[in-house]
Amino acid sequence: MATSLLASLFFTFWALLISPAISLTCSSQKFTKNQVYSNCLDLPSLASYLHFTYDPSNTTLSVAFISTPSKPGGWISWAINPNATGMAGSQALVVYKNSTTGVAVVHTFDISSYSSIVPKDLSFEVPDKTAETRSDGSLAIFATIKVPANLAAKGTINQVWQVGPGVGEGGMLEKHDFAAANLHSKGTLDLKNGQSSTNSGGDTTVKKKNIHGILNAVSWGILFPLGAMIARYIRSFESADPAWFYLHVFCQISAYAIGVAGWGTGLKLGSESSGITYSGHRYIGIALFVLATVQIFALFLRPKKDHKLRFYWNIYHHSFGYAILVLGIINVFKGFNILKPEHKWKSAYMIVIIAMGGISLLLEAITWMVVLKRKSRKSTKPYDGYNNAQSNQQPLAM
C-alpha cells in the first residue's frame, strides 16, 4: 500500500508538469470574435503568446498578443522597436483595465528612453486596436499595424513584450520586475516566415537558470524527502526488508548526485553574474551541500545494529537528514522567488509537497498501528494454565 502511494505521487507530479505544457500553447487558444491568424508563437518568456498575419502587398501586420499582468490590475504590452532591440526607443501598445469601468483598453506609448515613458501616438499607423479580458484572467491586444517601408523591406521587426504590476494616477505605468524573464522578453520577428528569434546570450543564461532550478527542485525538494519517507515508513513492513534500505540509499545517493550538479550550476551562474547576489539562497545552498556530503559518509560509517555507538549514529543520521529535508524545501521556494518562472511550476511543486505531506500523515498512522500491533503480539502469550503461580488453576481447553 505504501509503495503504491509513493508511486502515485510520482505519476501525479509528472502529470502536473506535462499537462500545462500541452494545454497552454498558442495553437489551443481561441478568440471571442473567432479571429484567425496565419502564424502563432509561444514566446519564450512571461507566459506570452503572439498570433499574427502579415500581408506584404500592403505591408499590413495584424497581431493578437496575449499575456497576464504580473499582479491583478496590472498591464501588458507588446511593442515594435524600429531601430534597436531593447525597450528604449520602442513604440508600444499597452493594455490595462479602466479603473472605473473595468474594461480593458489599448493605449499607445512612445518609449523614447528608460526615463521617458509617456502616452503618445506611435511613429507608424495603427488603423485598428482593441483589447479584451479573457476567461483565465489574461489580457489580449488586437491591432492592425502599417509596417514602415524600411522594416517591410527587411522583412523583420524587433519586438518587445512586457507585463507590469499596476497603473498609477494619470495612466502612468508602474515599473515591471527586473527578473531574467522580464529582461529577456525581446526578439526578432520574421514577418515572411512566421518565426521569432531571441538573443542567444540571454537564452543561454535563462537555460542555465532553468537547469539549476530543475536539478535542485528534483534533488533537494523531492528525492531527499522521498528517501526520508521510505526510511521512516516502508521499513515498518517486515515484507519490505531489506528492499526499503536499498530504495532509501538509491534515492539519497541519486538526490546527492543531482543536487551537487545543481549546486555546481549555481556556483557557475554566480561567477557569471557579478554584482547580483542572493545571499540567503546561496548560504542555504552551501549548508545543504555540506550537510549532504557529511550525510553520505553515514553510509560508510554505519555501526552494526547491536553496536554501542549505533544509538549516537542514529541521532546524527536523523538530525542531519531532517535538517536537509527542511532546508531543501525552503531553498526551493527561495529559488522560485528568484527565478520567477511561470506560476504553473510553483503550483505543481506545491501540490507535490502537499501530497507528500498528506501521504506522510497517512503512513504515520499506518506505521503506528503496525508497530503497536507487532508489540502487542510479542508481549501477549496465550494463557495455558501452567505459567500461573496457582497450582490449582486448570489449563484452558484448546
Its CATH class, for the domain covering 203-371, is mainly alpha
The verdict on whether residue 248 carries a ligand-binding annotation is: yes
User: What are the boundaries of each domain within the chain?
Assistant: 24-198, 203-371
* CA atoms of 196 and 198, how far apart (whole Å): 7
* CA atoms of 146 and 127, how far apart (whole Å): 8
The verdict on whether residue 318 carries a ligand-binding annotation is: no
Same fold, 24-198 and 203-371: no
Of the candidates 330, 248, 345, 316, the one whose C-alpha atom is nearest the C-alpha of residue 287 is: 330
Of the candidates 108, 376, 97, 356, the one whose C-alpha atom is nearest the C-alpha of residue 223 is: 356
Q: Are 79 and 87 in contact (CB under 8 A)?
A: yes
Of the candidates 96, 189, 180, the one whose C-alpha atom is nearest the C-alpha of residue 140 is: 96
Residue 134 Rama label (left phi>0; alpha psi -120 to 50; beta): beta
* 93-152 pLDDT tens trace: 999 998 888 899 999 998 877 666 778 888 889 999 999 999 888 999 999 999 999 888
Give the residues across from 189 on adjacent strands. Answer: 157, 196
Contact partners, residue 341, CB within 8 Å, separation at least 6: 181, 210, 213
Confidence (pLDDT) at 398? 39
Residue in the structure block whose three cell numbers are 547576489? 277
Q: Taking the CA of residue 37 as centre, how many other CA atoms within 13 Å lie in the half-sphere pointing to its CB?
A: 27
Secondary structure (3-state) at 55: strand
* CA atoms of 94 and 109, how far apart (whole Å): 7
Contact partners, residue 221, CB within 8 Å, separation at least 6: 328, 329, 332, 349, 353
* 165-182 pLDDT tens trace: 998 887 788 888 888 788
Confidence (pLDDT) at 309? 86
Confidence (pLDDT) at 396? 39
The verdict on whether residue 343 carries a ligand-binding annotation is: no
* CA atoms of 255 and 238, how far apart (whole Å): 26
CATH superfamily to which 24-198 belongs: Cellobiose dehydrogenase, cytochrome domain (2.60.40.1210)
The verdict on whether residue 281 carries a ligand-binding annotation is: yes
Contact partners, residue 249, CB within 8 Å, separation at least 6: 299
Give the residues across from 158 on adjacent strands. Answer: 81, 188
Counting as low any pLDDT under 50, the low residues of the chain are 2, 6, 14, 16-23, 200-202, 383-398
Confidence (pLDDT) at 19? 46
Confidence (pLDDT) at 223? 92
* CA atoms of 398 and 160, how far apart (whole Å): 88
Confidence (pLDDT) at 381? 53
* 152-166 pLDDT tens trace: 898 899 999 999 999
